[in-house]
Amino acid sequence: MIGRLRAPLPCIQLLYLIEKTVSKDCIIASNTSSLSIEELSTSLEYPERFIGMHFFSPANVMKLLEVVRADATSERTAIGVLASLAARKSERGGPVGHKFPTLVFPA
């Protein structure tokens, strides 16, 4: 878990380091709601594997997750994230939104 960064430059530097550290098939996600997922994705060598996942506050009450794609986010990344969330949800049981956030797909 990485703490709160409020300015684009530290995030871009951190994303650069993360990308150089993780495997090439690792999906990199940010939960920022104040920085542009599009802008952050442009700093990556492989922007197709970058996605935003924003939990609405308070997460224990709202139970809502917004998945945000940048222009370069690949279908594989988006589907992979959604499939992973759905698999985790099915392991926990209950209707969508019961114990795991509902998904919102922005246009």
User: What would the DSSP string read from start to end of 18-75?
Assistant: HHHHS-TT--EEE--SSS-HHHHHTTSSSGGGEEEEEEPSSHHHH-EEEEEE-TT--H
Whether residue 67 contacts residue 56, with contact meaning beta carbons closer than 8 Å, is answered with: no
Q: Which residues are catalytic?
A: 54
Residue 76 — pLDDT band, cuts 50, 70, 90?
very high
DSSP H/E element including 102: strand 102-104
What's residue 74's pLDDT? 94
The pLDDT, as a whole number, for residue 4 is: 56
Q: Is a pLDDT exceeding 90 seen at residue 46?
A: yes
